[in-house]
Amino acid sequence: MTNYAYNWTACALPQRSTYILILLLMISCVSGCGTRPTVVTDGCDVFRHITFSSQDTLETRREIEKHNTKYSQLCGS
């Protein structure tokens, strides 16, 4: 008499590893959907007025004044 029963143990390992692989791929895709807090800043807490020295050129002083004027317009100080 011939035994025609299907051998499930021989097929279970590749099938199981495929399901695990699919599950891991799905988890890695979903983990990228987390929300992060959005930080909005105007930059005034990082930048400040620039001072110049007597050794700076006239062009450097003009650029510093230009920066300081823009800083005062944006940050109010």
pLDDT at 61: 95
Residues 38-63: what's their mean pLDDT? 88
Domain hosting residue 75, numbered range? 42-77
Residues 46-52: what's their mean pLDDT? 88
Residue 29 lies in a domain: no
pTM equals 0.46
Find where tokens 């110049």 sit: 52
Residue 12 lies in a domain: no
Residue 52 lies in a domain: yes
Q: How many domains are there within the chain?
A: 1
Is the pLDDT confidence value at 11 over 80?
Answer: no
- Which letter does DSSP use for residue 56 in this model? S
Residue 58 pLDDT class (50, 70, 90 cuts): very high
